[in-house]
A = this chain, B = another copy of it.
Amino acid sequence: MFREKIRVFDCTIRDGGLINDHEFSDDFVRAVYKALSEAGVDYMEIGYKNSKKLFSGEKFGKWKFCDDDDIRRVIDGISSNMKLSVMVDVGRVDIADVKPKKDSPVTMVRVASYVKDIDKAIHLVNQFADKGYETTVNIMAISRALDNEITEALEQLEKESKANVIYIVDSFGSMYQESTEFLAKKAMSIIKTKEIGIHAHNNQQMGFSNTIEAIIHGVNFVDGTVFGLGRAAGNCPLELLIGFLKNPKYDIRPILDLISKEFIPLREKMEWGYIIPYAITGMLDEHPKAAMELRASHKKENYREFYESIKGKDLD
């Protein structure tokens, strides 16, 4: 697949930070930034921009806050054309913390929102756009929204928001390619002045496939993470995406090196990937939270009991 407008967006450090409370070392973040830059990746999301009034800087690592000075330090001296992004959640950011784009190393701000909060998301994203940032709105948990709600949200985003990109987010890793096709076509039919993006979780090993499916139907912003790192089952593996895209500006080799040197050792310390309880929440279209609790317990391999407990909820 070669389409000049496709943009590869890495969110390894941001999504991976959900596993370790954003406690990646500066050396690790530098290694990721350097390898992605060499690989020709277009964007790298380095963390969240959360208000320190809401979260303790002692309890969480620095990539939950993404101070400009911390970012400058880890990228210092590395040659790169890659743009940096931070994510904000509706209701968790203090807009006063965010300097105008011209004074920041960050290029893009992505606003994560459920469909029900889309008015707040538009209000928020427009403020970041006014500060000069490239912006996106990422519609989370879209697999559980009603069609009329999605239509209305997309129409509002098209008319009222200044966002450059609107993302479809398969938060629970529950989608098969038919749903991806349906949502991509729907977004393409409503969103005319912005790009569409896809962020696919990998609970059922569909992250990469759903991303390809979205590309086939016109989606140009595609998220991935190195070795699929990310909360619970993780994400579309960036290396597979780079292998699939035919644009010669991308080079998989620095990412292969990065996995050898940093991610194989990391896997001894952090758990993510194809793990049955996450596959179960994916196939049942549920948040992975219950599965994450299971994995932290002594019942971590009791899959049948877990399946029945989640299925039982349907009947409550």
Nearest Cβ on chain B to A172's Cβ, whole angstroms: 13
Q: Which residue of B has the minimal Cβ distance to A178?
A: B216
Whether B204 and A202, one on each chain, are in contact in the complex, defined by CB atoms closer than 8 angstroms, is no
Q: Which residue of B has the minimal Cβ distance to A240?
A: B204
A250 located at the interface, meaning its Cβ lies under 8 Å from any Cβ of chain B in the complex? no
Expressed in whole angstroms, the Cα–Cα distance for A76 and B207 within the complex equals 41
A260 located at the interface, meaning its Cβ lies under 8 Å from any Cβ of chain B in the complex? yes
Whether B279 and A243, one on each chain, are in contact in the complex, defined by CB atoms closer than 8 angstroms, is yes
- For A283, list chain B residues within 8 Å (CB): 240, 243-244
Nearest Cβ on chain B to A193's Cβ, whole angstroms: 29
- Other A-B contacts than A205-B237, A237-B279, A256-B304, 16 sampled, CB-CB below 8 A, are A176-B244, A177-B209, A204-B208, A205-B207, A205-B240, A206-B208, A208-B209, A228-B274, A239-B276, A243-B283, A252-B307, A256-B276, A256-B303, A257-B304, A259-B303, A274-B274
Using a CB–CB cutoff of 8 Å, the interface residues on chain A facing chain B are 176-178, 202, 204-210, 212-213, 216, 227-228, 237, 239-240, 243-244, 252-253, 256-257, 259-260, 264, 273-274, 276, 279-280, 283, 301-304, 307-308
This chain: copies in complex: 2
Nearest Cβ on chain B to A295's Cβ, whole angstroms: 13
Q: Which residue of B has the minimal Cβ distance to A176?
A: B212
- For A228, list chain B residues within 8 Å (CB): 274
Residue among A212, A237, A256, A301 having the largest count of chain B Cβ atoms under 10 Å? A256
Nearest Cβ on chain B to A264's Cβ, whole angstroms: 5
Expressed in whole angstroms, the Cα–Cα distance for A307 and B254 within the complex equals 11
Whether A212 and B177, one on each chain, are in contact in the complex, defined by CB atoms closer than 8 angstroms, is yes
Would you list the 10 A-B pairs with minimal beta carbon distance, nearest first? A209-B209, A243-B283, A256-B303, A256-B304, A205-B205, A260-B301, A257-B304, A260-B303, A253-B304, A205-B208
